[in-house]
């Protein structure tokens, strides 16, 4: 599995920490930026990551801003993206098993590093259950038009 990761300045430090985890676990990734603590606009990086997922450059994405809210909203504006803002492992697992989320959003100023790694680890191991959940995902897709 190949992961895309992106953040604004509010999520930059957590993004760098998560990259270390991905490298340690030998998980291939593409970093879509930002590359410093300089102030940037999260929609720009959410869009880069979302395009990477939609175009098949990566299988799933990790989006991070200060709270995770802004970048998750931005990602969800892209047709075909199902971005779930998660701050616990149960929600992360359910976002895949029931919602087939292709991007997870985290708040760099909201959750700690260790919890972020637990969330990412859980999310990466989870698999979509299909069945009745697929019917619901299809309805979401139909809303997009």
Give the residue numbers marked as catalytic. 65, 98
Cβ(16)–Cβ(62) below 8 Å: no
107's enclosing H/E stretch is strand 103-107
b/e string for 29-68 if b means 16 or more Cβ within 10 A?
Answer: bebbbbeeeeebebbbbbbbbbbbbeeeebebbbbbbbbb
Give dist(CA 16, CA 31) in Å, integer: 9
Picking from 39, 35, 38, 37, the residue whose alpha carbon sits closest to that of residue 48 is 35
Helix (H, G, I), strand (E, B) or coil at 115: helix
């Amino acid at each position: 599995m190949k992961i895309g990761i992106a953040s604004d300045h509010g999520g930059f430090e957590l993004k760098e920490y998560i990259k270390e985890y991905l490298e340690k676990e030998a998980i291939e990734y593409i970093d879509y930026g930002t590359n410093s603590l300089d102030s940037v606009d999260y929609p720009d990086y959410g869009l880069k990551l979302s395009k990477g997922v939609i175009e098949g450059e990566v299988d799933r994405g990790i989006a991070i801003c200060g709270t995770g809210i802004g970048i998750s909203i931005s990602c969800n504006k892209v047709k075909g993206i199902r971005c779930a803002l998660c701050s616990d492992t149960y929600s992360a697992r359910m976002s895949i098993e029931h919602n087939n989320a292709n991007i997870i959003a985290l708040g760099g100023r909201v959750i700690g590093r260790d919890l972020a790694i637990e969330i990412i680890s859980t999310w990466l191991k989870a698999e979509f259950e299909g069945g009745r959940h697929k019917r619901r995902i299809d309805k979401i897709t139909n809303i997009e038009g």
